[in-house]
Amino acid sequence: MKLNHPKGLYYLFFVEMWERFSFYGMRALLVLYMTKKLLYGDTAAYGVYGAYGALVYASPVMGGLLADRLLGYRKAVILGASLMCMGHFLMAAPTEFFFYIALALIALGSGFFKPNISSIVGKLYPEGDPRRDSGFTIFYMGVNLGAFLAPLACGLIGETLGWHYGFSLAGFGMIIGLMIFFKAEKYLEGQGLPPNPELLHKPVFAGIKAMPLLYLGCLVAIPILALGLNHNSYIGGVLYIVGALVLLFLLYTAFTAEKVARERLLVIVVLMFFHTLFWAFFEQAGSSLTLFADRNVNRQILGWVMPASITQVINPLFIIVLAPLFAKMWIVLQKRGSQPSVPIKFVLGLAQVGIGFGVLVFGASLAQSTGVTALIWLILAYFVHTTGELCLSPVGLSAVTKLAPAQAVGTVMGAWFLTISFAHHFAGWIAKLTKVSPDVEGTVSFGLVESLKIYSSVFADIFWFSLAGALLLLLISPILKRWMHGVE
């Protein structure tokens, strides 16, 4: 079998790269903008960040469902990209009101974009094609190339020239991604079209056709999401309700299917739990690890003090370097018949995210007298996190496209992204454990040694929880492998 990949993959690589440039460019600035410009305290900033992340990854449930049943993946991607363009440019408006409207637009747009561009990638490969994991790893490198460039451009400009210039640059990135997608459509081999085009033009409710009704729904959703972000304590309750309904839907689908389909879908459900655990720890990067870098890491390099937002390029830089090696490694191991199963790859991912936090704890123990740790420990932690991410994240996306029922890939992919929504919600909880004492919250007048002890204690807990999760998954992995029925 040929080892070259479909041409459409490389176009989608660049679409995803620019979308991630816009997303991570804004993310690099978000917590710093709230704490330094809007003067939010740590708890308030982490609350908004966690709720925003939760909405970004919860909305793909509906986006995937609408793509499967009505829009098709291509129209969903275009709609999502358009909404995100508007959101990123609105972030440049210097008012708190537009700040929340902008976040709502980006979260809603992500719901249409994220699950469906991944579903298109999966559709480019026939069932049983051994190139699929490798293809998703290449696609994932596009994610991280954008994530690498974004803090260097948006972060640096935002922190030095002005926050709103950085946010505007993120918007231009999204426009470029949308333009590339229009060019990519002729290379998608007929994939991603509406399942029933006639439905798009039929009246659905009160004589209104499907597409205008969908646009109206988006218009109504935007202020609701903005209000939820502003009063983010309610997001968790809504998320639990949505999560319970999605879980019931997946279980119903599984137990009404024949044996092979049922057990494959149950594998996805089990892996969702460990996927959530991984990202709850990994997503400290945009919150507690950013403020840890700002407060307790020596970022001076040859007399230049690196802005804290720039530390977010470390992980994607390692992805760019390592992803081609991992892509080739999976193919070589497949040919030798020694490639680890999907559950074992998840075990490796969970263990490594924990070890990364263990590295930070060790580095902190060497800096107890000063409260400032060396940059090398943060770099090493991100390196181990990256190798763990490459074992778990692109492999998980690929597994969903292989294990999910063919008629519901977008819906199941949306449910998969919902686990990252829960992860962001839980990540917000974890990050709040690192906040400074209430009497000084929102200022920089707290002691560095005290701050370092707080971070070190929380990071140590993450280390042990990660290893415990990896051990549990290792114990049940033989059952999961059997339920996969030969899918690798």
Q: What is the pLDDT along the chain (488 residues), one digit of tens a residue?
A: 445 888 888 899 999 999 989 888 888 888 888 988 888 888 888 888 888 888 888 888 888 888 888 888 899 999 999 999 999 899 888 788 899 999 999 999 998 998 888 888 888 888 777 777 778 778 877 887 888 888 888 888 988 888 888 888 988 999 999 999 999 888 887 787 887 888 887 887 777 888 888 899 999 999 999 999 988 888 888 888 988 998 998 999 889 889 988 999 999 999 999 999 999 999 898 788 988 988 889 988 888 888 888 888 898 889 888 888 887 887 788 888 888 889 999 999 999 999 999 999 999 999 867 889 999 999 999 999 999 999 998 888 888 888 888 777 777 877 888 898 889 889 888 988 887 654 444 444 457 888 888 899 999 999 999 999 999 999 999 999 999 977 76
| pTM score over 0.85 | no
pLDDT at position 1 is 41
Quote the mean pLDDT of the chain: 86
pLDDT at position 352 is 97
What are the extents of the domains in the chain?
Answer: 7-483
* CA–CA dist 302, 82 (Å, integer): 42
pLDDT at position 83 is 95
- What does the pLDDT look like over 223-276, one tens digit per residue? 999 999 988 888 888 888 988 998 998 999 889 889 988 999 999 999 999 999
pLDDT at position 437 is 56
In sequence order, which residues have a C-beta less than 8 Å from that of residue 343 and are 6 or more positions away? 267, 271, 473, 476, 477, 480, 481
Q: Scanning the structure block, which residue is given the tokens 């969702």?
A: 272
Q: In the chain, what is the straight-line distance between the N-terminal and C-terminal CA atoms, in Å?
A: 17
Cβ 337 vs Cβ 486: under 8 Å: no
pLDDT at position 439 is 46
* CA–CA dist 76, 410 (Å, integer): 11
Superfamily per CATH, domain 7-483: MFS general substrate transporter like domains (1.20.1250.20)
For 21-69, give the DSSP string. Answer: HHHHHHHHHHHHHHHHTS---HHHHHHHHHHHHHHHHHTHHHHHHHIII
* CA–CA dist 113, 199 (Å, integer): 21
Token pair of 241 as six digits: 């309700």
Whose CA is closest to 44, among 431, 452, 451, 314? 431
pLDDT at position 425 is 85
